[in-house]
Amino acid sequence: MTEGTVHVIGAGMAGLAASVRVAQSGRKVVLYDAAGQAGGRCRSYFDETLGCRLDNGNHLLVSGNAAAMAYIAATNAAATFRTADIAAFPFLDLKTQERWSVRPTEGRVPWWLFVPGRRVAGTQAWDYLDALKLSRAAATATIGQTLNAGRVIYARLWAPLAVAALNTEADHGSARLLGRIFAETFGRGGAGLHPLYPKEGLSESLVDPALSAIQARGGELRFGQRLRNLRFDRERVLALDFGREDVVVEPEDSVILAVTASVAKDLVPELYPPDEFRAIINAHFRVDALPGEAYTFLGVVNGTAEWIFLKPGVISTTTSAADRWIDRDAEDLAAALWRDVAKAYRLDPDRLPPHRVVKEKRATFAATPAQLLRRPKARTRWRNLVLAGDWTDTGWPATIEGAIRSGFTAAAQIAA
């Protein structure tokens, strides 16, 4: 062991990524979580009603998510994913019944913008210059203030992308953040846009391999441990208060706090993290036969569902920035979402399969310009305390990629 123990609180993607990195550096890791399992907002579970395992959400990763790919490599989990051969994002507009597929060419030069069949239907190559306006927008500007919301490209590209990547309605989402995401994904060409699907589930691909990697390096896992308090002196954290027991933080030890923003706010003095959140609704329909190939998806414009994923035995829908639907009755929602699925795949809208609707009211913080200003850096004024989580200042929205980046940053701070 190089130095003291690193205590990581929170075993979501951020805490797992930090623990993997720290363990691989040769330091002892103890990973705690309040829940009985790891994964946080990115995990799978057995659903009694449907009699199968479900993911808590449809978490889309693409091959250009650099931190996520490094994490998957470090945890030896590449074989648990199926990676699409091509970068293709099929869409359907439910209002007009138009279908198209956005198919970026592999290289960095965006030839695809000049091929009508590869762009969003109804758009021209020059429409995509909007990306520059987004990147150059003021930090305080929203997407709605930066782009003309009346244009086809807004309704069919910028709005769906903002809602999916920022989990924030386009009119209020940060223009600069959307510009950055577009530049770092579509701007780098199709090679970085091949979708990755967990073959079994999120836990089997993103959680279990990490736990094995941590344990293989001598790391310790402690579940069912809710941190109630951090005891500080002026310079450092002295102890972790888990209610029944206190864990002493020795002078050579470090602490990575990788809990949610609202929990961190209560544990760390003078921390004012993002405090506005947006909901995500997922519906899972259990089916005997899929209406298309498994491990594919469809983007939906002008529907209640925004994305439809086909997985073995299950059709799942995702609706992000879903606060307007969150109080609606789950049965009503299931029926509305199934009508969208039925229209998209020409199924019977009245034959609702067994289903489960999962509403996550505070799925992620809202990526508005004002909320982004509240994101804290990893380093704190206590020399042995570092923050991690999708809400810290990663430069990315609250996503798996952002959470993993934050974990890697925290581990690097500890090493430094």
Ligand X SMILES: Cc1cc2nc3c(=O)[nH]c(=O)nc-3n(C[C@H](O)[C@H](O)[C@H](O)COP(=O)(O)OP(=O)(O)OC[C@H]3O[C@@H](n4cnc5c(N)ncnc54)[C@H](O)[C@@H]3O)c2cc1C
Q: How far is the CB of 318 from ligand X (least distance, A)?
A: 7
For ligand X, which residue of 6, 8, 9, 341 counts as binding (CB under 6 A)? 9
Closer to ligand X by Cβ: residue 113 or 367: 367
Instruction: Specify whether the CB–CB gap between 321 and 163 falls below 8 A.
Output: yes
Measured torsion, CA atoms of residues 202, 207, 209, 212, in degrees rounded to the nearest 10: -150
Does residue number 34 form part of the binding site for ligand X (CB under 6 A)? yes
Residues within window 309-368 making contact with ligand X, judged by CB under 6 A: 360, 363-364
Positive/negative CA dihedral, 45, 66, 280, 11: positive
Closer to ligand X by Cβ: residue 362 or 379: 362
Beta-strand pair 44-47/52-55: antiparallel
Rounded Cα distance between 304 and 257, Å, is: 36
Residues within window 150-179 making contact with ligand X, judged by CB under 6 A: none
Rounded Cα distance between 210 and 222, Å, is: 14
For ligand X, which residue of 159, 344, 372, 398 counts as binding (CB under 6 A)? 398
To which H or E segment does residue 176 belong?
Answer: helix 175-184
Which residues touch 368 (CB under 8 Å, ≥6 apart)? Answer: 142, 168, 172, 173, 174, 276
Does residue number 70 form part of the binding site for ligand X (CB under 6 A)? no
Rounded Cα distance between 13 and 207, Å, is: 8
Instruction: Specify whether the CB–CB gap between 39 and 206 falls below 8 A.
Output: yes
Which range binds ligand X by CB under 6 A, 45-53, 150-158, 211-219, 392-400?
392-400
Closer to ligand X by Cβ: residue 35 or 330: 35
Which range binds ligand X by CB under 6 A, 33-41, 123-131, 140-148, 291-299?
33-41
Does residue number 261 form part of the binding site for ligand X (CB under 6 A)? no
Q: How far is the CB of 166 from ligand X (least distance, A)?
A: 11
Binding region for ligand X (CB under 6 A)? 9-15, 32-35, 40-42, 56-60, 226-227, 258-260, 263, 280, 282, 360, 363-364, 389-390, 398-401, 403
